[in-house]
């Protein structure tokens, strides 16, 4: 992973962990973090033609999971964030420092804040937040539906966010977002 992208990811995780805790009074669970990251990537892709963090996701039972982070969660520690085991196969994410928001555009910060506003609710349990965000991601992230239908735990393709024929569309019939996406992947 390119150094800038690595630092951007660490700061996104730190921001979600800190702000989720500030809003709910509870630590951020790995399940909710993974959905925040997926939403940020797929919403950015849908709106701009490019995923914000550019993570690779698997279509797992509870929704999109950034599998490289998932596989490293037992040892994931940086100067600003860490995954802390909570028994079984569960982890919480703790921010150890303030995130550096200079890695993000105003658009990305606004989208992260919108996700936190929608899901970091202190008045409902963590389990209910997790259920809501999982159900929503199953409905709203088209690439998860397509990959999960093909085979559980398969890699999700960003291009599945768009119409099936995007790769064969005449360039004069592409939307600006589709054109930006094709420039991104090629």
d(CA 126, CA 21): 11
Residue 127: how many CB atoms within 10 A of its CB?
A: 10
pLDDT, tens digit (0-9, with 9 covering 90-100), for 52-99: 999 999 999 888 999 999 999 999 999 999 999 998 889 999 999 999
Q: Nearest to residue 57, comparing CAs of 90, 35, 76, 75?
A: 35
Tokens, residue 47? 């709106």
Residue 4, both tokens: 């800038």
Average pLDDT over residues 24-39: 94
Q: What is the per-residue pLDDT for 140?
A: 83
pLDDT, residue 168, reads 84
Question: Comparing 16 with 126, which gets the higher pLDDT?
Answer: 16
Return d(Cα 125, Cα 117) in angstroms, integer.
Answer: 15
Percent above pLDDT 70 for the chain: 98
- DSSP H stretches of helix in 29-124: 30-48, 67-72, 106-119
Tokens representing residue 186 in the block: 């090629």
DSSP element (H, E) containing 12: helix 3-24
Q: What is the pLDDT of residues 93-139, one digit of tens each?
A: 999 999 999 999 999 999 999 999 999 999 888 788 878 877 777 77
Q: Which residues contact residue 181 at a Cβ distance below 8 angstroms, ignoring those fewer than 6 apart?
A: 45, 49, 50, 158, 159, 161, 162, 166
Predicted TM-score (pTM) of the model is 0.93
Q: Where are the domains of the chain?
A: 3-185
pLDDT at 138: 73
Q: What is the rounded end-to-end Cα distance, in angstroms, of the chain? A: 18
d(CA 116, CA 119) in angstroms, rounded, equals 5
- pLDDT tens-place string over residues 153-177: 899 999 999 877 788 888 888 899 9
Q: Is residue 186 pLDDT above 90, yes or no?
A: no
∠ CA 125-86-101 to the nearest 5 degrees? 75
Helix, strand, coil percent values for the chain (each to nearest 5): 60, 10, 30
What does the pLDDT read at residue 151?
A: 84
Using left for φ > 0, alpha for ψ between -120 and 50, and beta otherwise, residue 170 falls in: beta
Average pLDDT over every residue of 5-23: 96
């Amino acid at each position: 992973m390119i150094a800038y992208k690595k630092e951007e990811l660490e700061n996104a995780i730190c921001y979600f962990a800190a702000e989720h805790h500030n809003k709910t009074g509870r630590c951020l669970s790995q399940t909710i973090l993974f959905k925040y990251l997926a939403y940020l990537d797929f919403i950015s892709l849908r709106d701009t033609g490019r995923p914000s963090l550019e993570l690779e996701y698997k279509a797992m039972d509870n929704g999109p999971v950034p599998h490289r982070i998932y596989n490293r969660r037992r040892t994931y520690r940086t100067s600003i964030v860490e995954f802390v085991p909570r028994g079984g196969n569960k982890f919480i994410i703790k921010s150890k420092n303030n995130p550096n928001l200079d890695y993000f555009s105003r658009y990305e910060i606004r989208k992260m804040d919108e996700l936190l506003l929608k899901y970091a609710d202190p008045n409902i349990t963590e389990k209910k937040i997790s259920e809501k965000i999982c159900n929503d991601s199953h409905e709203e992230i088209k690439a998860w539906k397509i990959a999960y239908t093909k085979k559980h735990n398969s890699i999700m393709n960003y291009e599945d966010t768009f119409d099936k024929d995007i790769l064969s569309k005449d360039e004069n019939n592409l939307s600006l977002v589709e054109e930006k996406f094709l420039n991104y992947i090629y």
